[in-house]
Every structure is written in structure tokens, then in C-alpha cells.
């Protein structure tokens, strides 16, 4: 999937689907999951994975997804997540932090992400016995993702991370969603371009960086968060 940023959307879709087909043949569908938030990018990733599963395992194949409910998500995002999971016939596993989790973003965003996102994600991968986690991250979203490979081995717990949308752009994602007439969260129509936890996400003004509405101190720690298991 190298050197695909300038390819057409149709070419990118075929390359992404080819990767998903390869992964669908190599992994038990029950032990492969999409990291699904209900946002625009992971919606495309889930649709791609479902298409690959149906081609490899037949039309009754049911995708598995994991979703991090940090307790701080926008209710509008969770509503779209649940609706799309039902539409795609998804076996959705909602991962949550410990009930006594006290980490809050106003105190330390890095610690908050570790406690509310990274810990529950890695625990979920381990408990579900996943060998593959598919994400909707894209190379152009953040400098920390610029050098990623489409498939990355993870050591603890041992599994593969696959990023089939790595070469897509923000406009590619929107063009495909419009083409397929898939629903999306209403917050995007209110100026949000990237949706995270409510306390750390604001509408992004103008035509600047897509993640400009995310908390800048958390974004500055992206490399460290990735080293801990974030994507």
C-alpha cells in the first residue's frame, strides 16, 4: 500500500480491500476485531472488514468489533456506533475502564488516556484472545502516524494491528461515506472533524489540521501514548 496518497479513491479502496481479504484468510474471524468508535474512519474500516469477511467466509459472516467507552464519550457518537453496529450485524464488545478509575483529563491527559483507553483496550485484546485488531487510522492525521506500516506486530499482548485506511485522506473518507450513503454522527455537521472524548474535543475552525479540535497537550504526547499501546 505504499505511495498510494495520490491514487484515486477507487484504487485506494481496492488496495484496502485486498489487505482486508488477505487478513480475513489468515485469521479466525472470531479472533479478529475492528476498533470501532462510531466515527467516520472506523465506520469505513468496519464496512471494509465486513465486505472482506463476507467474500472469504460467506454472506453470513459476522464482524467483531471492540469499542472503548471511556465514560467521557459524546452520547451522539455512541448512538451512531450502536446503530451502525446493528446495521452491519456486528458482535460489539464495549470496553470500559475500572469503575473506580479516577483519572480525568483536567489533571493529566496522558494518565487519563492510559487509564481510560489504553488499559481497557489491551485488557480487551487479551481477554477476547484477539490475534488481529483493525483500526481506521490514517497517515495524514498526525505526524506520529506518518511512518506507520499497514500491518504492525504488537508484543504485549501479542497480536497484529492493521491499518487499511492508512493512505486515505479525510476527503477520501467523506467521499466514500457519501457514495455508500452511510450514516454519520451529527457532530461533524457542527464543525467537529475528529471525535474523541468530550472534554478533550472541540470543533475545528477553518481549514487547518483535522485534529486541531483535540486537546493539544494530549496530541503532543501521541508518540508516548502509541508506545504504551494507543493507536
204-216 tens-digit pLDDT: 766 666 655 455 5
Q: What pLDDT is recorded for position 74? A: 95
Domains of the chain, residue spans:
9-228
26-72 tens-digit pLDDT: 999 999 999 999 999 999 999 999 999 999 999 999 999 999 999 99
Torsion of CA 229, 145, 43, 169, to 10 degrees: 180
Q: What pLDDT is recorded for position 47? A: 98
Say which CATH architecture domain 9-228 belongs to.
Answer: 3-Layer(aba) Sandwich (3.40)
153-208 tens-digit pLDDT: 999 899 999 999 999 999 999 999 999 999 999 999 998 988 989 988 888 766 66
Q: What is the CB-side half-sphere exposure of residue 193 using CA atoms within 13 A?
A: 15
- pLDDT above 70 (res 77): yes
DSSP assignment of 29-97 equals GGGEEEE--SSHHHHHHHHHHHHHHHHHH-TT---EEEEE--S-B-HHHHHHHHHHHHHTT-EEEEE--
pTM comes to 0.88
Q: What pLDDT is recorded for position 213? A: 47
Amino acid at each position: 500500500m505504499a505511495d498510494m496518497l495520490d491514487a484515486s479513491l477507487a484504487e485506494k479502496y481496492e488496495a484496502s480491500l485486498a489487505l482486508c481479504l488477505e487478513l480475513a484468510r489468515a485469521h479466525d474471524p472470531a479472533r479478529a476485531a475492528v476498533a470501532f468508535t462510531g466515527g467516520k474512519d472506523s465506520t469505513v474500516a468496519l464496512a471494509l472488514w465486513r465486505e472482506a469477511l463476507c467474500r472469504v467466509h460467506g454472506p453470513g459472516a459476522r464482524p467483531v468489533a471492540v469499542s472503548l467507552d471511556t465514560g467521557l464519550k459524546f452520547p451522539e457518537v455512541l448512538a451512531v456506533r450502536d446503530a451502525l453496529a446493528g446495521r452491519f450485524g456486528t458482535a460489539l464488545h464495549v470496553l470500559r475502564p475500572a469503575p473506580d478509575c479516577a483519572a480525568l483529563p483536567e489533571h493529566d491527559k496522558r494518565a487519563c488516556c492510559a487509564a481510560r483507553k489504553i488499559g481497557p483496550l489491551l485488557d480487551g485484546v487479551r481477554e477476547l484472545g484477539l490475534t488481529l485488531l483493525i483500526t481506521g487510522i490514517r497517515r495524514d492525521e498526525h505526524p506520529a502516524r506518518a511512518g506507520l506500516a499497514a500491518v504492525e506486530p504488537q508484543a504485549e499482548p501479542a497480536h497484529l494491528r492493521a491499518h487499511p485506511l492508512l493512505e486515505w485522506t479525510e476527503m477520501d473518507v467523506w467521499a466514500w461515506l457519501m457514495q455508500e450513503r452511510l450514516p454519520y454522527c451529527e457532530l461533524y455537521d457542527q464543525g467537529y472533524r475528529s471525535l474523541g472524548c468530550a472534554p478533550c474535543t472541540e470543533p475545528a475552525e477553518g481549514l487547518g489540521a483535522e485534529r486541531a479540535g483535540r486537546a493539544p497537550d494530549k496530541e503532543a504526547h501521541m508518540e508516548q501514548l502509541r508506545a504504551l499501546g494507543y493507536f
